[in-house]
Structure 1
Amino acid sequence: MKQLTTTLIIFILLSCAKNDDYEYIFNTSDDNPIGEINDSIISILSLGDSYTIGQSVCETCRFPEQLKDSLIISVDSQDFDLKVIAQTGWTTTNLVNAINSENIDSNYDLVTLLIGVNNQYQHKEFSLYESEFPQLVQMAINAVNGDKDKLIVISIPDYAYTPFGQQDFYFDTISAEIDQYNTYAENYCNSQDITYVYITDITRLGVEQPELVASDGLHPSELAYSKFVERILPHALEKID
């Protein structure tokens, strides 16, 4: 797919619009230092990119926070802790390197993984995703003490159905390539008996339902993330039960 220089410049500017003051690794519990797990709480680890960090939405609006809040409501008398390793613009390579650089505890109760859009956007060879996605899945499994039943892989949103994506002459190609990534991830998860949650169709309503797109015209909105969580929550509840 032809790379448009102007589009890339706009994307970089949008990536800096909000949340650029966050460290790529953060923990929402003041009482629990990063990398340490308190046995009295349920600990969640979310791995990804801008879709995980919640570019251009509020801190409590991103899907990992909404998932944590929904779990708190659903599970009485239980404390939850959330750690996120994510940053806008990250490819699978960036995420692999970030995880390798951290001493991540192996006793998390739940882990989510959403990665790949920047491989597609940055025109990386698809073979790179085929190599590094399984590696990231194993890293995620290691974080839950080797229990793959505690992993949820989430499909890649489709930014072609945003005002930003609609400006790209090749928006049909974007969707086709996103499908290629998602099909690979889904098939891999199915072959390994790993939970895979498809949310891409929600983001493909972004043109007819602009409230699903954040103010930057590119990323999902708080409402879109809430719809992600509606699909993720039942699986998360089963995994922490």
Structure 2
Amino acid sequence: MGATTFLALGDSYTIGEGVAEEGRWPVQLAARLRERGIAVDAPRIVATTGWTTDELSSAMDAGALSPGYGLVTLLIGVNNQYRGRPATEYREQFRELLLRAVELASDPRRVVVISIPDWGVTTFAEGRDREAIGRDIDTFNAIAHDETLRMRTRWVDVTATSRDAGAKPGMLVNDGLHPSAAQYVMWTRSILPEAKAAVGP
């Protein structure tokens, strides 16, 4: 058997805005899986800073993705929240993205959904209503979690980690908003068990 193919779908958090390629959590995750004897290809990352659910969907159309991936991850929604998009729209578009992810993996158990981190705790959010941002993030995550359970895919919560890391030294890149490679190490630690289960026999 060949190496497991890995597709990572998302936005700035998946492309790793502000970090070197090896610091991105999908790249870290593939490395951790290989350390455990699981052959995994370098991840194909379909993600760009600023993307909303509909923009990711359009990029997937343009990318001409085909089924057969052994692992698919999905982390999307922070820009819907940031732009003030309605939660009802997010549910509809997220559900469609998750359906597409399942089709690309050919098995819901090979799909891992990662929660949206809380940017309200970052230095970038200074002067904004941090509590309101947190409530919005919780609402969007509740929707994503609900759809994840409904679709029988896998769920990983990194929101708590993002809130704990906050704006602690070394946890953000220079923009004061996006996680550093060090914070992505913590995310990867949380994602790894579900990823291992997804690619296991």
Q: How far apart are residue 208 of structure 1 and its match?
A: 5.9
Q: Among 35, 42, 53, which residue is 1:73 paired with?
A: 35
Please tell me whether the aligned partners of residues 15 and 24 of structure 2 are also in contact (alpha carbons under 8 angstroms): yes
Please tell me whether the aligned partners of residues 52 and 114 of structure 1 are also in contact (alpha carbons under 8 angstroms): yes
Unaligned runs of 5+ in 1: 1-38
Distance in structure 2 (CA, Å) of the matches to 1:87 and 1:189: 22
Distance in structure 1 (CA, Å) of the matches to 2:167 and 2:161: 11
Residue 141 of structure 1 corresponds to 102
Tell me: higher relative CO, structure 1 or 2? Use CA pairs within 8 A at least 6 residues apart. 2
Residue 85 of structure 2 corresponds to 124
Give secondary structure in 2 for the equivalent of 1:115.
coil
Unaligned runs of 5+ in 2: none
**Greater radius of gyration (CA):** 1
Q: How far apart are residue 224 of structure 1 and its match?
A: 1.0
Are 1:155 and 2:112 matched, yes or no? no
Residue 135 of structure 2 corresponds to 176
Letter of the 2:5 partner, please give it. S
Alignment of 1:218-237 (within 5 A): 218-237=177-196
Q: Among 10, 13, 20, which residue is 1:58 paired with?
A: 20
Give secondary structure in 2 for the equivalent of 1:196.
strand
Give secondary structure in 2 for the equivalent of 1:112.
strand
Please tell me whether the aligned partners of residues 46 and 83 of structure 1 are also in contact (alpha carbons under 8 angstroms): yes
Q: How far apart are residue 238 of structure 1 and its match?
A: 1.4
Q: Residues 171, 143 of structure 1: CA spacing in aligned structure 2 closer, same or farther, 3 A cutoff?
A: same
Letter of the 1:136 partner, please give it. L
Residue 44 of structure 1 corresponds to 6
- Identity %, equivalent residues: 35
Distance in structure 2 (CA, Å) of the matches to 1:205 and 1:179: 15
Q: Residues 207, 230 of structure 1: CA spacing in aligned structure 2 closer, same or farther, 3 A cutoff?
A: closer
Residue 240 of structure 1 corresponds to 199
Are 1:88 and 2:49 matched, yes or no? yes
Letter of the 1:153 partner, please give it. V
Q: Deviations along 1:94-123, whole A, 9 cap, x unmatched?
A: 011111222112110000000000000011
Q: How far apart are residue 79 of structure 1 and its match?
A: 4.8
Aligned residues: 200
Give secondary structure in 1 for the equivalent of 2:65.
coil
Task: Report the aligned-residue RMSD.
Answer: 1.3
Alignment of 1:185-204 (within 5 A): 185-204=144-163
TM-score by length of 2: 0.95
Structure (1 or 2) with the greater helix fraction: 2
Letter of the 2:154 partner, please give it. T
Q: How far apart are residue 167 of structure 1 and its match?
A: 3.0
Q: Deviations along 1:127-171, whole A, 9 cap, x unmatched?
A: 2101100000011111112x0000000000000111001232x11
Letter of the 1:171 partner, please give it. R
Q: Deviations along 1:171-203, whole A, 9 cap, x unmatched?
A: 111000000000111122122222110010111
Letter of the 2:178 partner, please give it. H
